[in-house]
Amino acid sequence: MMNEIMAQFRSDVDFISVYTTEAHPVGGWEAPDQPNLVADATTTTERVAAARAWFDKTQLSGQLAVDGIDNEAQFTYDSMPDRIFVLQQGKVLYMQDKGPFGYLPDELTAFLQKLK
């Protein structure tokens, strides 16, 4: 779904995916349908490797950023397990509730269409 949204708005929006703490690490709270088996990173280097593997597998367009092992982005944006934001010039214009229940790509599409 996100790939379609990114394709639809790529000329108007810069998309950045920020990879933070693994929501379902091996040995942690593993989801039964989890497509990726990822250990919880203990270093930023490990997190970057996990992020790159996830980004490549999902084939998302846009850019990839990775939260440091100190989890500053996750804590700042309360983004565990996931969350969608729209920022403009450093200001939050739009913020969804946290996923999985607050992860609503269709609502993002409606918001971006209003911005056009």
Architecture of domain 2-115: 3-Layer(aba) Sandwich (3.40)
What per-residue confidence (pLDDT) applies to 72?
A: 95
- Would you state the structure tokens that stand for residue 2, as one six-digit string? 């996100």
Contact 63, 17 (CB under 8 A): yes
For the chain, the straight-line distance linking the first and the last C-alpha, in angstroms and rounded, comes to 20
pTM confidence score: 0.84
Q: Which parts of 13-109 are beta strand (E)?
A: 16-19, 63-66, 85-88, 91-95
Contact 38, 50 (CB under 8 A): yes
What per-residue confidence (pLDDT) applies to 94?
A: 95
What per-residue confidence (pLDDT) applies to 90?
A: 87
Which letter does DSSP use for residue 18 in this model?
A: E
